[in-house]
């Protein structure tokens, strides 16, 4: 297992941090549904005392994500090698925020997942006194101005949701190390997945995933992870994970680990179909504008080429017309399901202004350009021609409604 980091990603997603189970040789870890573990004498045990703190199924998943994100922490040093699994992406975020002291200053990307914004501005600003500055970190001058010597955390999401802005992780890390030496640098890597982007390699301290999305990929489990490659930070996260207790259960850990086994082939298809559909939409008469990192027209396409290995299945586009056209389009799709969430094998479509981003204040939505005509696609791994037929039909219905 010490050679994990030398494997290619398609091998890692199947084998990294894994080994056959010791008693039976089972190639997949059993689902250890136990809350506690027998001791032979007080304090004498096999390294497992209580499932909030220790669970072999959760450890197997945690070691996997740790290796996928490039942590080299040895299992002898930490049982999950720097990976930590939580009941949801937001539970992972809530735990990461506990690394900050009360009243801490946080610089956060302006365009983040609606729930991340809500947790910071409507919960932790009150309960923890966090002072959060939302900054467009695609602009390095703005980043430079926002980062202070006392800044405790920099919270980046890239690509962002739903406007798919890209942040230059290497440059942000450089600026932050210089201006905010105490800051922990966290990247929400949910949209990219570990296949397309690995923020630790760019100098970040912590990576977060909502495993609900690409990592699990089957829309059947809510979960989150944190990963660090730093031993001291790993000890701190282990302490807060156990102290807060919002851990992922063994059954969900099994599901997510199972989902990750196909992450390599899934992302290859998401990347390929995403690019193809983005190109196609860009030429469509009913479409105003397409935002997709893999398109040359994307404002940060240069960062995409430097930092990402694929554009994912996430496409944002603006339909011509207004809310009526958007509504007719969304009602006319047959293969794409109108639903929140993303990153699953099935194609989904979202209307952020009414659905996922309703919790973002209206004036902030306006500033970010989350208008009534903005539509977010999560392109699944179905046959790409079938998906384009579905989109063509629904765009046609929207145009007819308008005339
Ligand atoms: C969904 C999502 C989250 C929150 O994760 P949950 O599993 O829903 O709690 C955080 N960040 C991003 C980018 C997401 O898409």
Percent of the chain whose predicted confidence (pLDDT) is above 70? 99
pLDDT at 359: 77
CB-based contacts of 282, cutoff 8 Å, min separation 6: 290, 295, 297
The rounded distance, in Å, linking the Cα atoms of 374 and 326 is 8
At 178 the pLDDT is 97
- CA of 358 from ligand 1 middle (Å) equals 15
Question: Higher model confidence: residue 6 or residue 173?
Answer: 173
89 lines ligand 1 (CB under 6 A): yes
Is the pLDDT at 2 greater than 60, yes or no? no
Closest atom, ligand 1, to C-alpha of 115: 4
The pTM is what? 0.96
Q: What is the reported pLDDT for 111?
A: 87
The architecture of the domain spanning 264-402 is: Alpha-Beta Complex (3.90)
CATH 3.40.640.10 fits 8-260, yes or no: yes
Tell me whether residue 225 is exposed, middle or buried, using C-beta atoms within 10 angstroms of its C-beta: 0 to 12, 13 to 18, 19 or more. buried
Tell which one of 85, 88, 90 to mutate to probe ligand 1, the residue whose CB is within 8 A of the most ligand atoms: 90
Q: Is the CB of 62 under 6 A from ligand 1?
A: no
> Which residue out of 85, 87, 89 has the highest number of ligand 1 atoms within 8 Å of its CB and is therefore the one to mutate?
89
- Ligand 1 atom nearest the C-alpha of 92 is 9
Q: What is the pLDDT of residue 127?
A: 98
Residue with tokens 């105490």: 182
State residue 3's pLDDT score. 67
Of the ranges 80-89, 106-115, 300-309, which one carries the lowest mean pLDDT score? Answer: 106-115
CA-proximal residue: ligand 1, atom 2 (nearest): 210
Task: Select the more confidently predicted residue: 71 or 355.
Answer: 71
CB 222 within 8 A of CB 87: yes
179-218: pLDDT as tens digits: 999 999 999 999 999 999 999 999 999 999 999 999 999 9
- What pLDDT score does 30 carry? 96
- Ligand 1 site-directed mutation target among 94, 120, 209, 212, most atoms within 8 Å of CB: 212
Phi, psi angles (nearest 5°) of residue 215: -60, -50
CA 339 / ligand 1 centre spacing (Å):
14
Q: Which residues are tagged catalytic?
A: 52, 113, 188, 213
Query: E-strand spans in 211-345?
Result: 224-228, 287-291, 314-319, 337-338
Going by alpha carbons, the residue nearest to atom 7 of ligand 1 is 89
**pLDDT tens per residue, range 238-257:** 999 999 999 999 999 999 99
Residue 1 has pLDDT above 60, yes or no: no
**CA-191 nearest atom, ligand 1:** 13
Spell out the residues 6+ positions from residue 50 whose beta carbon is closer than 8 angstroms to its own: 35, 36, 37
Helices (H), 245-316: 250-260, 263-282, 301-307
Cβ of residue 124 lying under 6 Å from some atom of ligand 1: no
DSSP element (H, E) containing 63: helix 56-68
- CA distance linking residue 171 with residue 185, whole number of Å: 12
Q: Per-residue pLDDT for 387 more than 60?
A: yes
**Nearest CA among 317, 322, 356, 363 for reference residue 338:** 356
Map out the domains of the chain as residue ranges: 8-260, 264-402
Find out whether the beta carbon of 113 lies less than 6 Å from any atom of ligand 1.
yes
Cα separation values, 340 from 63, 120, 351, 383, Å? 29, 21, 8, 22
Contact yes or no for 321/374 (Cβ under 8 A): no
Residue 296 CA, ligand 1 centroid: distance in Å? 28
What is the average pLDDT across 363-369?
Answer: 86
Which run of H or E residues covers position 350?
strand 348-350
């Amino acid at each position: 297992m010490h050679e994990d980091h030398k494997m290619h990603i398609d091998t890692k997603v199947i084998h990294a941090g894994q080994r056959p189970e010791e008693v039976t040789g089972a190639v997949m870890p059993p689902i250890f549904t136990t809350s506690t573990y027998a001791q032979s004498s007080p304090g004498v045990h096999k390294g497992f005392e209580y499932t909030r703190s220790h669970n072999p199924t959760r450890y197997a998943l945690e070691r996997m994500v740790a290796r996928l994100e490039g942590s080299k922490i040895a299992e002898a040093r930490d049982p999950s090698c720097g990976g930590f699994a939580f009941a949801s992406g937001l539970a992972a975020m809530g735990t990461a925020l506990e690394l900050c002291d009360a009243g801490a200053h946080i610089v956060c990307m302006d365009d983040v997942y609606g729930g991340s914004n809500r947790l910071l501005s409507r919960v932790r600003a009150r309960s923890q006194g966090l002072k959060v500055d939302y900054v467009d970190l695609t602009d390095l001058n703005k980043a430079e101005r926002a980062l202070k010597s006392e800044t405790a955390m920099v919270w980046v999401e890239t690509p962002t949701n739903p406007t798919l802005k890209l942040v230059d992780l290497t440059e942000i890390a450089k600026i932050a190390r210089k201006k905010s030496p105490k800051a922990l640098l966290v990247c929400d890597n949910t949209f990219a997945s570990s296949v397309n982007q690995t923020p630790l390699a760019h100098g970040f301290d912590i990576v977060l995933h909502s495993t609900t999305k690409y990592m699990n990929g089957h829309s059947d489990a809510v979960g989150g992870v944190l990963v660090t490659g730093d031993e001291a930070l790993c000890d701190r996260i282990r302490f807060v994970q156990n102290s807060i207790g919002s851990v992922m259960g063994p059954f969900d850990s099994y599901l997510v680990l199972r989902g990750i086994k196909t992450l390599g082939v899934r992302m290859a298809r998401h990347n390929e179909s995403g690019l193809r559909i983005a190109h196609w939409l860009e030429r469509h008469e009913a479409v105003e504008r397409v935002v997709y990192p893999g398109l040359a027209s994307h404002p940060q396409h240069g960062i995409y080429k430097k930092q990402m290995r694929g554009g994912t299945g996430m496409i944002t586009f603006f339909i011509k017309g207004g809310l009526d056209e958007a509504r007719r389009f969304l009602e006319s799709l047959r293969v794409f399901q109108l639903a929140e969430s993303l990153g699953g094998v099935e194609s989904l479509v979202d209307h952020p202004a009414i659905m996922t981003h309703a919790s973002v204040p209206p004036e902030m939505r306006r500033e970010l350009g989350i208008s009534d005509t903005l539509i977010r696609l999560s392109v699944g791994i179905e046959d790409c021609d079938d998906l384009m037929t579905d989109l063509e039909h629904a765009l046609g219905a929207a145009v007819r409604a308008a005339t």
